[in-house]
Structure 1
Amino acid sequence: MASFSLQGSKLLVVDLAGDSVRALTGSMVAYDGEVDFKKQSMGGEGVMGAIKRKATGESLSFMEMKGRGKVYVAINASEVQLVQLQGETLFVEASSLLALDMSLKTGTKFTGLGGGQTGNGVFTTTVDGHGWVAFTADGPPIALRVTNMDSVTVDPQAYVAHMGNLQQDFVQDINFRTIVGQGSGETFQQRFSGEGVVYIQPAERAGFAGDM
């Protein structure tokens, strides 16, 4: 199995030993050894997976990296977080997914309704199986522990990923922008309860429906 490591906080190093890894198309910045790169049609999920992603807006564009050598992967100087899955499922924003072992399966899951009265559907990408996965964040990713005693509520624009035995729902609230007249008042946050970890970034993602 390929090994994943970080060189600094913004560069992923994938050490290939004759195997394959999926990575975001265009994210290779350097490599050594004998490595072939091939664009994966339909994100590697087949026809039905591609249709579902088009319908939900959770698009993926992957390339396959195969051979022997080291591949250096980065995108937009974003911070990189590594997670080793051992049968769990990682829920992650499609725009944050950077690289993953070929053995891992990806999919799309409906996570609830958001956006207040608009009833917008919210979807996320799932990664499950055994192997390494790397995702990015705008700034150093922050891991928030959720326990049965303490739920965690996050701004959807700062949400990146979560894993564990977590239940997710959306709650309406009033934020500072609403108070000063810069929002309509129709806002919502993501609340997680149970046992697990939620990853957020110290920056808000532009253009999300959290503030309608």
Structure 2
Amino acid sequence: MSVRSLKEFVESSRQKDASPEPFELESSHLLEVKLSGRVWAKAGAMVAYRGAVKFTRQGVLEQGLGNLLKKALTGEGTQLMKMEGQGRVYLADSGKKITLLRLAGESIYVNGNDVLAFEDGIASDITMMRRVAGMMSGGLFNVRLSGNGVVAITSHYEPLTLAVTPDQPVFCDPNSTVAWSGSLNPDIVTDISLGTLFGRGSGETVQLKFAGEGWVVVQPYEEVYFQQPGAGRG
């Protein structure tokens, strides 16, 4: 690796404005949000900011009764924060790759760990798979994002999108599933014979079956789902 002067390093790594869009990737692992109003982001994802920005964790009333009940039952959920004001905020999540998606009245489901940020025009709702919760450490919760605006999702390494058709269902390791189209409602299937072949975690015999018309995004990595201290203990 060649040695660079301090001036060369500062210049090459300097923040750049290549797009007027509110969400801009400074790199594949770092998102810049040009804040003018309000944006929702994963709590703890802010790495730097400048300007007059206020950060507030998602309030109890803003989560909705349904989401609160789901969190109480499972001990899990994605913690969001509001970013309000005028300025620039830089977001990242453990060096994961960031993908920006523009929704135009559409909906997608995203693994709760993989939601990084979304514009204020996007509605969010926690969904959970109860059968998985009893089989896997921490269970499996997802966030349904719908409306008009840009969402930022994350994945470990480069994601792969697989087409789902009525004659070709797709089976996925829950720990490697990132997102899927809003038209799909996966089923939980188990197969003991696949225990040594499909996945390596505690849910290695559990798969998600996607059938119908749509797509599913997977990553070459097994995610460890968030679980609050004491959750799931008898």
Shift, 1:155, TM fit? 1.0
Shift, 1:7, TM fit? 1.9
- Taking the aligned partners of 1:184 and 1:6, their CA distance within structure 2 comes to 35
Shift, 1:77, TM fit? 0.8
Aligned to 1:172: 190
Q: CA RMSD in A?
A: 3.2
Gaps of 5+ in 1: none
Which among 24, 32, 45 is matched to residue 13 of structure 1? 32
Which among 22, 26, 30 is matched to residue 3 of structure 1? 22
- Taking the aligned partners of 2:65 and 2:128, their CA distance within structure 1 comes to 19
Shift, 1:121, TM fit? 7.5
Using a 3 Å threshold, how does the CA distance of structure 1 residues 128 and 51 change in structure 2: closer, same or farther? same
Query: Taking structure 2 as the reference length, what is the TM-score of the superposition?
Result: 0.73
Secondary structure of 2:68's aligned partner: helix
Letter in 2 for 1:96: D
- Taking the aligned partners of 1:168 and 1:48, their CA distance within structure 2 comes to 21
Aligned to 2:152: 134
Secondary structure of 2:211's aligned partner: strand
Shift, 1:148, TM fit? 3.1
Which among 148, 159, 162 is matched to residue 144 of structure 1? 162
- Taking the aligned partners of 1:108 and 1:89, their CA distance within structure 2 comes to 13
Which among 165, 173, 191 is matched to residue 209 of structure 2? 191
Deviation per CA, 1:137-189: give whole Å up to 9, x if none: 1222222222334221111111111114224212223336269xx89998121
Q: How is 1:56-205 mapped onto 2 (pairs within 5 angstroms)?
A: 56-111=74-129, 113-114=131-132, 123-173=141-191, 174-175=193-194, 177=196, 187-205=205-223
Matched, 1:46 2:64: yes
- Taking the aligned partners of 2:24 and 2:43, their CA distance within structure 1 comes to 19
- Taking the aligned partners of 1:87 and 1:42, their CA distance within structure 2 comes to 27
Using a 3 Å threshold, how does the CA distance of structure 1 residues 175 and 72 change in structure 2: closer, same or farther? same
Shift, 1:23, TM fit? 0.8
Secondary structure of 2:183's aligned partner: strand
Matched, 1:34 2:62: no
Query: Taking structure 1 as the reference length, what is the TM-score of the superposition?
Result: 0.80
- Taking the aligned partners of 2:214 and 2:80, their CA distance within structure 1 comes to 28
Letter in 2 for 1:152: V
Letter in 2 for 1:84: R
Aligned length: 203
- Taking the aligned partners of 2:222 and 2:165, their CA distance within structure 1 comes to 25
